[in-house]
Structures are given as C-alpha cells and as structure tokens.
Amino acid sequence: MQVNNNIYAPLKARLTEVIEESPLIKTLVLIPEEKFSFNTGQFIELSVDGIGEAPFTPSSSPLVSDRLEVTIMKTGYVTGYMHELKPGAIMGIRGPYGRGYPVESFYGKEVLILGGGCGLAPIRSLLYALENISDKLERVVLCYGSKTPSDCIYKPLFTRLNNTPKFEAHRTVDKADEEWGGNVGVVTTLLEKVKINLRKSLAVVCGPPVMMKFGTLKLVEMGYPDDLIYLSMEKNMSCGLGKCGHCMMGKFFVCKDGPVFTYNEIKDQPDIWN
Amino acid sequence: MRYLSINKEEWDVALERLLSSYTVFATISNGYGLDYEVVTAGNIRDISYDRPKPATPLKTFFLPVRENVTSGKHAERQRIILGIPNCDIKGLGILDEIYLDKDYTDISYRERRETTLLISSDCFDMEKNCHCSSYGIKPYSEDGADLAVIQIDDHIILRVITPKGEEFSSQLTMLKPAENGEILNEIEKYHKAVESLLSSANKALPDFETTGKLVSAAGGKIWEKYSSHCVSCGACTTICPTCSCFLLIDRPGFEKIKQMDACQYPGFERTAGGGDSLFELSERFRNRYLCKYVWKSRKFRSTACTGCGRCIEACLGKISKNELFTELTHASQQ
Ligand SMILES: Cc1cc2nc3c(=O)[nH]c(=O)nc-3n(C[C@H](O)[C@H](O)[C@H](O)COP(=O)(O)OP(=O)(O)OC[C@H]3O[C@@H](n4cnc5c(N)ncnc54)[C@H](O)[C@@H]3O)c2cc1C
Ligand code: SF4
Ligand code: SF4
Ligand code: FES
C-alpha cells in the first residue's frame, strides 16, 4: 500500500480502542483510512505523529482489512508515547512489509509454535490464519512461555484454542506464583511434554532473542530439519523498505527479505541471535 | 560508442550557451584540490578535465544529507554533472539497485537521476590512494555515464556512451566525428600509462574477491588494532560513494525526514530492550568491511567499494583500509 506513490508517506489510521493486556502491554485497535490487508507475519511501521515510528507485527486476523490491532510492549521512547495515546488519536501506518509465513506450505502438516514474551502478538495473527485453514492442517500445537503468570497476555486465547478441534495450547512460566498450578521452566521444557509426529511437522519460533536461540537449537536437536523451522527475526529497523541498512543481517535486509526466514536460510549469517 | 571532437574554444562557448537551460556542475581546482563547482560564464575556463578526483562523492547529488521525503517538492532544473571519475560512475550502480528497486522506488532519487546528465572524464593521472583497478574498475568510463569528455591539447573529445548522451550531443552543432586516429591512439596511451601507475602503486593490494575472503576470516585482534584509532566520526561512510544508509525522522503532520546515517555511529543497530550487536567499537569498525567486501557483494550485482580511496583520506584516525588489507595478506601468506 503506497500513499501518493510515495514509499515514505504513511496512511492515516484512527485509534478507536486501547486494550490493557498487562502493565507493560497494550493493544491498540486502529481503523485505517483505506482498506489495509496484510499476510500473517508481515509487519507495519506505525508512527506517532511528530514523534517517531517503530515496526510491529499486527496481532489481528489477516482476514480483516478494515480494522487492525497492534499489541505493543512499552520498552522505550516511541512505545512510551504509544502507551499514552487515547482513542480518537490519529496514527500513521506504512506497509505491510516483508515476507510473512508461507501458510500454504503448511497444508497437510502439524504446526508446532514456540512463543515467548511479546512474541505472542504476531503468533495470535498466525493462529487466526491457521484457524481459517484448519481443515487443511493436521494439528496445531502452541507452546508458550512467559516470565510470570501475570506477564501472559490474551489468556482467554488459550481456553479458546483448547476448545478448537485440532488445536492445543500449553503454557509455562519461568517463575510461578501461589495460584499457578501449571508447568514451571523455560518454554523448551514443554517440548518434552507434547507428542509430535516429526515426519509431518514443521515449527515456528517467535519471541525474545534468547528464547529464539535456545528454542531453535532444541528443535534441531529433536530432529527438525533446518528448512522447516521458521523464525521471525527482530532487528533495528527504520525504513522497512530494504534501503536504510539498519536491519542488515549478513547479506539479508531483514525487513524485506524477512522478517520470517527458515533457520536454513540464515544459520550462516552473523549475529542472528543478537 | 563513438567519438566526437570539438575545438576547446568552441566547446567553452557551447557550454556557456547550455547554462541557460541546465544547471551545470563541473570539477574545478581550488586551493586544496578538485571539487564540483556550479559553472558560470566566469569559471568555464577553469574546468579541469582528465584529473582525478573530486573530494565530494557523486552520491551527494542524488542523496542529500537531509531531505524531507514527504513534502512532494522536487522537479529541480535539468542538471549536467561534468568531470565525474569512472569510480564514482561505478559507485552509482549499487545506489540505483537500492533506490530504483522495482518494489519500492524512491521517487526523489528517481527524479534526480532522470533529470541529470552524467559526463564522466578519463583519469590521466592518479591520486595517492586511488586503487580502482585493483577492483576491476577502469580509470575511464565505457558504460554507466552518458558521455565522457577528454581534453587533448586544444581539442575536446567526447565519447558517446548512452542514447541520452547521443541525444545531448546532437544539440551541439559544432561537434565533428573524431576521425583523427592519432588522437584516439593518444588517449589509449594515456589510459595505459595511468593503468600501469595504478597497478604499480597497488601491487601489494589483494583483489576484491580475495579481500572479501581475508575480511571474513580475520580474527578479532586485527579489528581491535585498526579500530583503536577510530573515533566513530563516520567520515569514512559519509565520504564513501557507495554508503547510503539513512534514518527516517518524524516531523509533525506525518512528514518524514530522511537523514544520512552510518553504521559507524553508536546505536545504529540498537533494538528495544538495549540489545546491540554493534555495541563494541571494533565490531562497528569491522561491520563496514564485512558489509562492503562480503555481504553486499552477495546481495547486489554492483560493487560496494570502487577503490576511490576517499575513506583513507578522510579518516580522522589516519586509518588506511589498504594497510589493513596488506597486513591481512601478509599474515595469510605466513
Ligand atoms: C519485524 C518486527 C516486529 C515487531 N513486532 C512487535 C510487536 O508486535 N509488538 C511489540 O511490542 N514489539 C514489536 N517489535 C519491537 C518494537 O519494534 C520495538 O519495541 C520498538 O521499536 C521499540 O521502540 P522504542 O522507541 O519504544 O524503544 P527504544 O529502546 O527507545 O528505541 C529503540 C529505537 O531507538 C533507537 N535508540 C534509542 N535509544 C538510543 C540510543 N541511546 N542511541 C542510539 N539509538 C537509540 C534505536 O536505534 C531504536 O531504533 C517488533 C520489531 C520488529 C523488527
Ligand atoms: S570504501 Fe573507501 S575506497 Fe571504497 S568506495 Fe568507499 S570511500 Fe572509496
Ligand atoms: S573515518 Fe576513521 S575515525 Fe571516522 S569512523 Fe571511519 S574509521 Fe573511524
Ligand atoms: S529497515 Fe531499512 S533496510 Fe530494513
């Protein structure tokens, strides 16, 4: 989508609702000025007028084009301003950018999704997309880890998934509280508990760098082929267009060649876990 | 390619006439060296032909240091840039690949490219750090530029390279086909002479591909040694004809300012939460080398280093990449 044929000009979008997911995470619901469609795994550059822009993967369904949800963790300057915005505010959107998940190639397979932290936001959009094609999939298994039980966002999502045929969702926390009765440990510990038919399976990993690294290495150890492990990479980004150079990871511009890569594509590039 | 010739006096007159319809920039010597100046009736005779190399890289005509890319104000006058060394013409290749990318075309860049006629000039001499030929680039243009201009005594010879150059030269009525074989032989003699100057000055320097291999294999020690004088000023990337990284800055009204940026500045790759793979100075320093000689050469058809030598001249820390490469070569031979 390009405004006036200018790749740098954002499309305006009205903020209609702010959902508080956790003390540090909010979901902004946006109504774009024009229809805006994206493929799951693609990202947008979202701007606060006059303040700055940052990349986010929409957390809403890729099947909806008149409404967009973005789930934002407050980590610094721009996201700090985003958390202050009230319904009615006008924001800017550029995109969608990059290469998302090749969901057609998931047909006939078991999809294992490994997520952590705010990585659940992009995964939610992927789950919507997979629900839509569930008749063509064998099974979808979500393993999600958060620091504490209260850091977990979209809690109702887990109940819903566990009530959806072919879907199952597992949770773990690094540190339990009194009420927590579930698994304790990093997200890879869940992998020992789920049954997987490796021959039919592929894996998706999305989360903070450490989790991506250990998650991927564990999957490789389990026998997943490198070209069936999909990673959503996060790098500093400015343009989103494959021009500004900020997101370079070896020979790739993560914004344009990614952000979704197979492990096979990037394993020889430098600093992939940084 | 064909050659046309014109008497120098007539050329100056023709050039002066063009000033009414074009903004002309040309290489003129000042007290310090050679650089592009705006041509006026008063300085046409000061234009220097066949001398390397203007201080300013060609990229600055197409990628201003700072530009509002959402204001929609472009359409400058038609421009002629005259006296461009071939290394800079070759440096434009990678910028074209990035900014004219079919998926996302930068319209300000495209407009500037379309409204500019590139007139190269053959280098009949070399500057201290010139090493184009080590990377397979000739010291004269046979493609990329629209025309090349050469001065031999009181003759101006034009090498017509592109259809745009052809169309332009058809406007200059006093041009004659350069049938004088002697002049062409003389040009060739100059080419040979400067090529041999370049190759003997850079005997110890590895070629582009070998440089890539050496840079990939080099361990942390050498980067620490050479970066110990680096002050992260970014002069090397600012002056480089192929470096074109930028940052978008927001202004009220959803305007975007595109400002040239550099991987040598701290924080270039900083991500949320503070992660930064280029936090260490020596990592940033090494990044420029990997980017130019390894990564970009795998990604793009065009070169990311033309061997112009400007980064060596501009460095505040007096760091020479060519000394580094020579040291790597020696180390690899031991
Ligand atoms: C493809 C992609 C998808 C993403 N999806 C999501 C998502 O769905 N949800 C989510 O919450 N996050 C997501 N992120 C992360 C999100 O983009 C960052 O959290 C956001 O950019 C942080 O911006 P900030 O200004 O608040 O953070 P800050 O930490 O303040 O700033 C980060 C930016 O400012 C610059 N900067 C800040 N301080 C300095 C300094 N001292 N020196 C130099 N530079 C500095 C950095 O270069 C960087 O560009 C995604 C990132 C990517 C790449
Ligand atoms: S790296 Fe140095 S020598 Fe190579 S093109 Fe850039 S400025 Fe010129
Ligand atoms: S010009 Fe020299 S001192 Fe400045 S950033 Fe480059 S290498 Fe470092
Ligand atoms: S974000 Fe600019 S090149 Fe990728």
Which pLDDT belongs to residue B208? 97
Which pLDDT belongs to residue A117? 79
CB contact, 8 Å: A248 with chain B?
yes
Which pLDDT belongs to residue B184? 87
Question: A49 vs B105: CB contact, 8 Å cut-off?
Answer: no
Secondary structure letter of residue B291 according to DSSP: I
Which pLDDT belongs to residue B274? 79
Distance A253 CA to ligand 4 centre (A): 6
Strand partners of residue A25: A22, A73
Nearest chain A residue to B267, by CA: A236
Question: In angstroms, how far is CA A144 from the centroid of its own chain?
Answer: 12
Which one of B269, B284, B293, B298 makes the best mutation probe of the A interface by having the most chain A beta carbons within 10 Å? B269
Nearest chain A residue to B216, by CA: A270
Which pLDDT belongs to residue A119? 76
Question: B246 vs A251: CB contact, 8 Å cut-off?
Answer: no
Q: What is the CA radius of gyration of chain B?
A: 21
Residue B74 banded pLDDT, cuts 50, 70, 90: low
Which pLDDT belongs to residue B174? 85
CB-based burial of residue B20 (10 Å sphere; 0-12 exposed, 13-18 middle, 19+ buried)? exposed
Which pLDDT belongs to residue B306? 98
pLDDT at A1 exceeding the cut of 80: no
Give yes or no for a cis peptide into A218 (omega within 30° of 0). Answer: no
Q: Measured between alpha carbons, how far is A61 from A65 in angstroms, rounded to an integer?
A: 9
**Alpha-carbon separation of residue B9 from A217, A271, B13, B171, B263 (angstroms):** 73, 59, 6, 17, 47
pLDDT at B190 exceeding the cut of 80: yes
Mapped onto helix, strand or coil, the DSSP state of residue B60 is: helix
Question: A244 vs B270: CB contact, 8 Å cut-off?
Answer: no
pLDDT at B320 exceeding the cut of 90: yes
Which pLDDT belongs to residue B75? 63
Mapped onto helix, strand or coil, the DSSP state of residue B39 is: coil
Distance B271 CA to ligand 1 centre (A): 5
Residues 6+ apart with CB under 8 A from B261: A238, A244, A245, A246, B245, B246, B247, B268
Range scoring the smallest mean pLDDT among A41-50, A59-68, A155-164, B93-102: A155-164
Q: Measured between alpha carbons, how far is B277 from B271 in angstroms, rounded to an integer?
A: 9
Among the bound ligands, the one closest to the CA of B223:
3
pTM: 0.94
Among the bound ligands, the one closest to the CA of A83:
1
**Alpha-carbon separation of residue B108 from A5, A97, A127, B69, B198 (angstroms):** 11, 21, 40, 7, 36
Higher pLDDT, A178 or A87: A87
pLDDT at B180 exceeding the cut of 70: no
Which pLDDT belongs to residue B275? 84
Q: Measured between alpha carbons, how far is A100 from A96 in angstroms, rounded to an integer?
A: 10
Q: Measured between alpha carbons, how far is B325 from B205 in angstroms, rounded to an integer?
A: 7
- How many inter-chain contacts (A to B, CB under 8 Å) are there? 103
Which pLDDT belongs to residue A237? 96
Distance from CA of B208 to the nearest CA of A (A): 17
Among the bound ligands, the one closest to the CA of A240:
4
Which pLDDT belongs to residue B70? 93
Strand partners of residue B117: B80
- The CB of B305 under 6 Å from ligand 2? The reply is yes
Which pLDDT belongs to residue A3? 74
Pocket of ligand 2, candidates B202, B211, B233, B292: which has the most ligand atoms within 8 Å of its Cβ, to mutate?
B292
Distance A44 CA to ligand 4 centre (A): 12
Any idea which residue has 């200018």 for tokens? A6
**Alpha-carbon separation of residue A90 from A57, B174, B217, B250, B254 (angstroms):** 19, 61, 50, 14, 10
So what's the ipTM on this one? 0.93
Which pLDDT belongs to residue A8? 96
Which pLDDT belongs to residue B266? 94
- The CB of A239 under 6 Å from ligand 4? The reply is yes
Give yes or no for a cis peptide into A10 (omega within 30° of 0). Answer: no
Quote the percentage of chain B above a pLDDT of 70. 99
Tell me the chain A residues in contact with residue B248 when contact means C-beta distances shorter than 8 Å: 8, 53, 238-239, 244
Q: What is the pLDDT of residues B123-174, one digit of tens each?
A: 999 999 999 999 999 999 999 999 999 999 999 999 999 999 999 999 888 8
Which pLDDT belongs to residue A5? 83
Q: What is the pLDDT of residues B9-49, one digit of tens each?
A: 999 999 999 999 999 999 999 888 899 999 999 999 999 99
Question: In angstroms, how far is CA B142 from the centroid of its own chain?
Answer: 15
For chain B, the average pLDDT equals 94
Among the bound ligands, the one closest to the CA of A125:
1
> What's the whole-number mean pLDDT along residues A39-62?
96
Q: Measured between alpha carbons, how far is B234 from B240 in angstroms, rounded to an integer?
A: 10
Question: B250 vs A52: CB contact, 8 Å cut-off?
Answer: yes
- Of A27, A45, A144, nearest in space to A87 by CA: A27
Mapped onto helix, strand or coil, the DSSP state of residue A189 is: helix
Q: What is the pLDDT of residues A73-109, one digit of tens each?
A: 999 999 999 999 999 999 999 999 999 999 999 999 9
Q: Measured between alpha carbons, how far is A105 from A114 in angstroms, rounded to an integer?
A: 18
Residue nearest to atom 3 of ligand 4 (CA): A242
Q: Which residues of chain A form CATH 3.40.50.80? A: 103-232
Q: What is the number of H-type helices and E-type strands within chain A?
A: 7, 15
> What's the whole-number mean pLDDT along residues B279-301?
95
Q: Which residues of chain A form CATH 2.40.30.10? A: 11-97
Pairing outcome for strands A11-22 and A52-56: unpaired
Q: Which residues of B touch A (CB under 8 A)?
A: 69-70, 72, 98-99, 101, 103-107, 244-254, 256, 258, 261, 263, 268-273, 275-277, 290-291, 294-296, 298-299
For chain A, the average pLDDT equals 93
Q: What is the pLDDT of residues B194-219, one digit of tens each?
A: 999 999 999 999 999 999 999 999 98
Question: What CATH number labels A11-97?
Answer: 2.40.30.10
pLDDT at B72 exceeding the cut of 80: no
Q: What is the pLDDT of residues B210-245, one digit of tens each?
A: 999 999 999 889 999 999 999 999 999 999 999 999
Tell me the chain B residues in contact with residue A208 when contact means C-beta distances shorter than 8 Å: 273
Q: What is the pLDDT of residues A117-157, one digit of tens each?
A: 777 888 999 999 999 999 999 999 999 998 888 888 888 88
Mapped onto helix, strand or coil, the DSSP state of residue A98 is: coil
Any idea which residue has 């969702």 for tokens? A169
Quote the percentage of chain B above a pLDDT of 90. 86
Higher pLDDT, A151 or A261: A261
Which pLDDT belongs to residue B167? 94
Nearest to A8 among B69, B244, B269 (CB): B69
Number of other CB atoms surrounding residue B163 within 10 Å: 9
What b/e readout covers A76-85, taking b as 16+ CB neighbours within 10 angstroms? eebbebbbeb
Mapped onto helix, strand or coil, the DSSP state of residue B27 is: strand
Query: Which tokens belong to A3?
Result: 């405004």
Kindly report the CA angle at A207 between A263 and A162, in degrees rounded to 5? 105
> What's the whole-number mean pLDDT along residues A236-245?
97
- Of B180, B190, B194, B142, nearest in space to B7 by CA: B180
Architecture (CATH level 2) of domain A103-232? 3-Layer(aba) Sandwich (3.40)
Which pLDDT belongs to residue A2? 74
Which one of B74, B238, B249, B271 makes the best mutation probe of the A interface by having the most chain A beta carbons within 10 Å? B271
Pocket of ligand 1, candidates A234, A239, A253, A257: which has the most ligand atoms within 8 Å of its Cβ, to mutate?
A234
Tell me the chain B residues in contact with residue A76 when contact means C-beta distances shorter than 8 Å: 272
- The CB of A30 under 6 Å from ligand 1? The reply is no
Query: Which tokens belong to A250?
Result: 């070896």
Do B59 and B91 touch, CB atoms closer than 8 A? yes
- The CB of A231 under 6 Å from ligand 1? The reply is no
Which pLDDT belongs to residue A22? 85
